[in-house]
Amino acid sequence: MACPAGLRYARPMLAARADRPEAVALAELTTGDGVEQWKATLRAGRRLLIGVAGGSGSGKTTLAHHLAQTFGDELSCLVMQDSFYIDQSARFDGDGGSVNFDHPSSLDFELLEAQLRALRAGQPVEVPHYDFATHRRLASTTPLASRALIVVDGTLILDAPGVRPLFDVAVFVECPEEVRFARRLERDVRERGRTPDGVHRQFHRQVKPMHDAWVEPSKVHADVRVGGLEPIAASMQRVLARVSVDERLSAGA
């Protein structure tokens, strides 16, 4: 089963990555699931910050995007941890090399914390641009207006001590390692110009060890855990149910 680049998962597992049935997810969400109730609550002035964490390839980004899309641009905005990488261009030594992009020190959590606090206070922010091809933080930024619902996506957001307390609801997406690897391999080759060998090396040298050391332990801070292989609509319903039953949130604290 081994290959020169590292680990090869069995063909049946790669073929059965069990991508979540996302196309029908939004249609399955009804008023009974609490969407309309929470839209009304948000329009009435309630602010809510939801953090969606989990391993790379777990499905957390899919869940975060669907949450934001469900509530729409009028009520929600999405913040991605990936925007907050520090500039690694001077240290980068090759695809799958020694630069550890999965360690907490690779991210500017101070800036992320500051921007989340500003958004929660109703203030706009300028989100940085990180170029995954050159590993540079670009001079350009993207303006992001504050919305009533702020969804944050990231592998390490529940580990970061300055960021974690800001979440009204913390979500962790659990997913088997072989599925996370297969999804990451496909994404990095297709979207980030990576080589399969480089993705293999990075996964074994950095992604898996950092997941085991930092990401997986952070799920103890989650208010709700969902499965990365379950239908996306089911995950969203569980998150909304958690929001609805949280007495502190319902009281508007």
Q: Write down the pLDDT at residue 222.
A: 98
DSSP letter at 107 equals: B
Phi-psi region of 76 (alpha: psi -120 to 50; beta: other; left: phi over 0): beta
The three-state secondary structure class of 167 is: coil
Q: What is the pTM of this model?
A: 0.83
For residues 163 and 108, is the Cβ–Cβ distance under 8 A? no
For residues 252 and 80, is the Cβ–Cβ distance under 8 A? no
Q: pLDDT category, 2, cuts 50, 70, 90?
A: very low
Q: pLDDT category, 65, cuts 50, 70, 90?
A: very high
In 3D, which of 6, 14, 2 has the Cα closest to residue 200?
Answer: 6
Say what percent of the chain tops pLDDT 90. Answer: 57
* C-alpha pair distances (Å), 229 with each of 16, 119, 218: 11, 31, 20
CATH number for the domain running over 47-246: 3.40.50.300
Q: Write down the pLDDT at residue 188.
A: 81
Q: How far apart are CA 139 and CA 118, in angstroms?
A: 21
**Lowest mean pLDDT, pick from 23-37, 138-152, 165-179, 196-210:** 23-37
Q: Give the H or E element holding residue 179.
A: helix 177-191
In 3D, which of 13, 7, 2 has the Cα closest to residue 207?
Answer: 7
> Does pLDDT of 207 surpass 90?
no
Higher pLDDT pick, 58 / 26: 58
What does the block give as tokens for 101? 């992009």
Please give the full DSSP string across 194-252, using - where no structure is assigned: --HHHHHHHIIIIIHHHIIIIIGGGGGG-SEEEETTS-HHHHHHHHHHHHHH-HHHHTT
> Does pLDDT of 132 surpass 60?
yes
> Does pLDDT of 25 surpass 50?
no
For tokens 């909304």, name the residue.
Answer: 240
For the chain, give the longest Cα–Cα distance. 58
Count of residues in the chain: 253
Q: pLDDT category, 99, cuts 50, 70, 90?
A: confident
What's the average model confidence in pLDDT over 10-21? 39
> Does pLDDT of 244 surpass 80?
no
Q: How far apart are CA 77 and CA 47, in angstroms?
A: 12
In 3D, which of 148, 145, 155 has the Cα closest to residue 55?
Answer: 155
